[in-house]
């Protein structure tokens, strides 16, 4: 997946033929485009955007991914032909508002969880928006998180649906780690020895406080992951009990409030 090709697709959607406003105003010459933030946040995916803007003939200064910024800071400053700046403006601002919003939300989750458990891993699902997976996964990393898995091809996760279809799993012969999502507390106890990681979905912290020690006693090497409606209000409770917290919430974070200022040089 080439992120620059994705950006070209976004631009083709936004400007399939001509920029009618720039044509009407007969805009010519060179200028600067500054993408500015109106609030605190964490930058994400600026490297890909900068590479793409340079291919459009622009020179660019930028904040690298993972940098914290505050109101009034410039995330991107691009210089070049004004007609090009007006063409790429909306795609650039929209991408950064989404990705930086995800990075900012992830950073907050990581910060809250690690106050309780410094070693806990915050990982996101593959429930990304269509056509945005590359950028959304990178944004999570920019915020200090990681992703549980990128696709069906990169890991083994035996879900409740798999278990309903296949029944009790046999002894495994694979070089990959085995992740299992049991359908109940009883199921997790029976599967603990077969799993490298147990994914406990939609289990309340009160239930986990009694269950997790039993699982670790059965299999001291098993890793415990939790998922299901975990957000900044309750992530601290789960961080006390789990090795990994899996959530989709950063993908649906509110985009950051950015603005763009274009001026003639």
Pairing relationship of beta strands 30-37 and 258-264 according to DSSP bridges: antiparallel
With 80 as the cut, is the pLDDT of residue 171 above it? no
What local confidence, expressed as pLDDT, does residue 176 receive? 85
What local confidence, expressed as pLDDT, does residue 18 receive? 93
CATH of domain 3-109+253-264: 3.90.1170.20
What local confidence, expressed as pLDDT, does residue 150 receive? 81
Rounded to the nearest 10°, the torsion over CA 10, 50, 125, 117 is -160
What local confidence, expressed as pLDDT, does residue 199 receive? 95
Q: What digits encode the pLDDT tens for the residues 9-43? A: 999 999 999 999 999 999 999 999 999 999 999 99
Domain segments of the chain as ranges:
3-109+253-264, 116-252
What local confidence, expressed as pLDDT, does residue 166 receive? 84
Residues 6+ apart with CB under 8 A from 114: 120, 239
CA distance 49 to 91: 10
CATH level 3 topology of 116-252? TIM Barrel (3.20.20)
Structure confidence at residue 102 as a pLDDT band (50, 70, 90): very high
What local confidence, expressed as pLDDT, does residue 41 receive? 98
Q: What digits encode the pLDDT tens for the residues 203-262? A: 999 999 999 999 999 999 999 999 998 999 999 999 999 999 999 999 999 999 999 999
What local confidence, expressed as pLDDT, does residue 66 receive? 98
Give one DSSP letter per residue of 9-48, joined into a string.
HHHHHH-SS--HHHHHHT--SEEEEEEEESS-EE--SHHH
Q: What digits encode the pLDDT tens for the residues 119-170? A: 999 999 999 999 999 999 999 999 999 999 888 888 899 888 988 898 777 7
């Amino acid at each position: 997946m080439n992120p620059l090709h994705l950006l070209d697709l976004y631009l083709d959607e936004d400007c399939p033929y001509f920029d009618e406003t720039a044509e009407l105003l007969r805009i010519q010459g060179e200028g600067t485009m500054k993408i500015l933030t109106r609030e605190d946040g964490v930058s994400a995916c600026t490297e890909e955007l900068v590479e793409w803007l340079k291919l459009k003939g622009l020179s660019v200064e930028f904040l690298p991914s993972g940098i914290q910024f505050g109101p009034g800071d410039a995330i991107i400053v691009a210089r070049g032909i004004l007609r090009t700046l007006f063409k790429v403006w909306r795609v650039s601002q929209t991408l950064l508002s989404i990705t930086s919003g995800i990075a900012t939300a992830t950073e907050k989750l990581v910060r809250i969880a690690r106050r309780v458990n410094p070693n806990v891993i915050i990982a996101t699902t593959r429930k990304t928006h269509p056509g945005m997976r590359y950028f959304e996964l990178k944004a999570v990393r920019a915020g200090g998180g990681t992703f549980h898995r990128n696709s069906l091809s990169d890991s083994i996760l035996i879900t409740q649906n798999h278990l309903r279809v296949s029944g009790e799993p046999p002894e495994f012969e694979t070089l990959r780690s085995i992740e299992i999502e049991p359908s109940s507390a009883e199921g997790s106890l029976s599967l603990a020895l077969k799993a490298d990681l147990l994914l406990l979905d939609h289990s309340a912290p009160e239930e986990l406080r009694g269950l997790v020690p039993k699982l670790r006693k059965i299999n001291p090497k098993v890793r415990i992951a939790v998922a299901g409606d975990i957000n900044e209000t309750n992530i601290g409770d789960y961080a006390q009990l789990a090795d990994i917290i899996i959530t989709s919430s950063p993908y649906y974070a509110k985009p950051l409030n950015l603005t763009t200022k274009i001026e003639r040089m």
